[in-house]
Amino acid sequence: MPDAFESVYQVLGKDFSNAGKVSTSIKDTLKRLGISPAIVRRVAIISYEAEMNLVMYASRGKMALSVSREAVTLNVHDEGPGIPDVSLAMQEGYSTATAEMREMGFGAGMGLPNIKRCVDKMNLESTPGKGTKLEMFINLQPEDSFRESGYFDSEDKSSS
Amino acid sequence: MSLQEVIEKLNLSVLTDPKDFSELTPSGGYAADLLSCVMAGAKQRNLWITLQAHLNIVAVAALLDLTAVIITEGAAPDAGTIAKANEEGVTLLSTNRPTFEVVGTLWELGIRQG
């Protein structure tokens, strides 16, 4: 009987042509697991913003998704320049994006604030010159999870 | 109002594979060229009006389950973007008219932000 669904995705920095692919895959996974649309939307936003941050700034990284009955957890770990001032980066409108990124509609300085609005809890640790670790948690209520998915069917049967 | 009616009233070009647009009803509209604004503000089945035409609009539209993207001011997505949109089931529409005019017309047609 599985306790949680887990999956790890690799993301390559500067690879704009594949940017968003991992988030799309995470969204499809959550839908398949039967997670409620409101939660799927919140996870889609945090995964997309985190993925784009990784693509724009880091050289490579990993996104680890974990879904249990209680929460969706998304951990993003990148090798990149790091964030010198985390509190500044959390401010809406602050951005270090290049002109090229801005032209594509990135760099609004809304990525991390968007994430903060969508999560129940987040931890952001960054080491300049090495990389950034972002942990994001979204709590699940019983009605949010695994409807019609059969993923935890064995448990459902034993408890009913 | 169906997407088919929107396409006809605004005389939009359909860039991606045809679907039965009369079966699709947009839930409202959202206009922005900053992708993070769209991620935060656009709702499921919205129309997204933007002058961005690059590949990354496809992931945004797919993630948010948008009904269609209306690309304004004659901005033209490249073949790779259109192919990706078809792959993801995202509808791309285009017009030479500016965003302001497109939004105004959609408003007159009864489409609201929602």
Predicted pLDDT at A3 = 80
- State the DSSP H helix or E strand holding residue A29, giving kind and residue range, or none if neither: helix A21-33
**Which DSSP symbol is given to A16?**
G
A133 pLDDT higher than 70: yes
Q: Which residues of A touch B40 (CB under 8 A)?
A: 45, 110, 114, 117
Predicted pLDDT at B113 = 86
Mean pLDDT rounded to a whole number for chain B: 97
Predicted pLDDT at B26 = 98
Q: In which order are the strands placed within the sheet that holds B68-71?
A: B13-14, B92-94, B68-71, B46-50, B28-31
Nearest CB to B59; choose among A19, A45, A111:
A19
Q: What are phi and psi of B65, to 5 degrees?
A: 55, 50
Which residues of chain A have a Cβ shorter than 8 Å from any chain B Cβ? 16-17, 19-21, 23-24, 27, 37, 41, 44-45, 48-49, 52, 104-106, 108, 110-111, 114, 117
Cβ pair A19:B39 closer than 8 A = no
Task: Show the DSSP H helices in chain B as ranges.
Answer: 3-9, 35-41, 56-63, 79-88, 99-108
- pLDDT tens digits for range B69-103: 999 999 999 999 999 999 999 999 999 999 999 99
Least confident window among A41-50, A135-144, B98-107: A135-144
Predicted pLDDT at A149 = 56
Query: What ipTM was assigned to the predicted interfaces of this complex?
Result: 0.92
**Average pLDDT for A63-72:** 96
Mean pLDDT rounded to a whole number for chain A: 91
Could you count the other beta carbons within 10 Å of the beta carbon of residue B5? 13
**Average pLDDT for A20-28:** 97
First to last CA, chain A: 15
Cβ pair B59:A20 closer than 8 A = yes
The C-alpha atoms of residue A18 and residue B78 are separated, in whole angstroms, by 15
**Average pLDDT for B43-49:** 97
Q: In which order are the strands placed within the sheet that holds A121-127?
A: A4-12, A60-68, A71-79, A131-139, A121-127
Percent of chain A with pLDDT over 70: 89
B114 pLDDT higher than 80: no
